[in-house]
Amino acid sequence: MVGIIQVDLVYFSSNSENKRLSYSMLGLVLIAHTGLLLALASYQKPIQLAEEKSMQISLITPESKPEKIEAPKPLPVQPKSAQEPVKPKATTPPKKPEPQLVANTREITPATASEQKPEAQTETPQAIEPQQEPVKLSQASPKEEPPIEQPRFNADYLDNPSPAYPALSRKLHEEGRVLLRVHVEVGGQPSQVNIHKSSGFSRLDERAADTVRQWKFVPARQGGQPVAAWVIVPIQFNLKG
């Protein structure tokens, strides 16, 4: 019995010591955790967020300075040079206008148009000199030119045909006198045939011009030499009966 009691006491004492150790260890652990919590709590500080600052950007245009307008500098006055006296120019006499020569009228009838031949006629045209203002400066008088003998178209040896009377003009009783302005070359050929004055009917005018373009002329002469000149050729269209 004594032995059993001793064993129980030893076991009971060992159990009590173990409990003390466990309580002490538990207390140390709690103290350690409490210290850690306090340490952490002391080091934690509220994080302050940096305040956002608003920025305003504005464009500032530089003040424009008023430009100074400079007054124009006066130009230097140049002395007027003495005007030279105007020398009178010697005026040359105007050229004499080329005379237009009018020949005798040729009358065309439907019955005897192909039989009639123009008679040779010679006329001496007179050149009309333009009036000239008196010239103060002395000048040599122009040399007088010999008169121009007009071109001829009614010589027998030329054998120029008369214009045929247009059938429609005869039917419509168209009559009239055509004046043709013809430029005759040195060789006697007509280079230009223009209607100087119409008969009033285009058919008669065209028939007369077409016929005269086929004619031969005696060229104009001046001082014995053939020259080119203008001549007026009259053509008469007349119905008889």
pLDDT band for 232, please (50, 70, 90 cuts).
very high
3-state helix, strand, coil in the chain (%, to 5): 25, 15, 60
Residue 12, both tokens? 């009971």
Instruction: For residue 177, give the H/E element and its range.
Output: strand 176-184
Average pLDDT, the chain: 71
% of residues, the chain, pLDDT over 90: 33
Q: Check if the beta carbon of residue 203 is closer than 8 Å to that of residue 166.
A: yes
Residue 201 backbone phi and psi in degrees, to 5: -135, 125
What pTM was computed for the model? 0.43
Q: Report, as an integer, the average pLDDT of 217-222.
A: 94
Query: Which of 218, 217, 197 has the alpha carbon at shortest distance from 209?
Result: 197
Six-digit token string for 71 = 């007054």
pLDDT tens string 123-155: 333 333 334 444 444 454 557 888 989 999 887
Neighbours of 81 (CB within 10 A): 6
CA 227/CA 124 separation, integer angstroms = 15
Lookup: tokens for 146:
């010999």
Of 162, 179, 184, 147, nearest to 113 (Cα)?
162
pLDDT in the model for residue 36: 82
In this predicted structure, the answer to whether residue 57 has a pLDDT above a threshold of 50 is no
Q: Give 231's strand partners.
A: 101, 182
Token pair of 125, please? 């045209």
Tell me the pLDDT tens digit for each residue of 34-47: 888 887 776 555 55
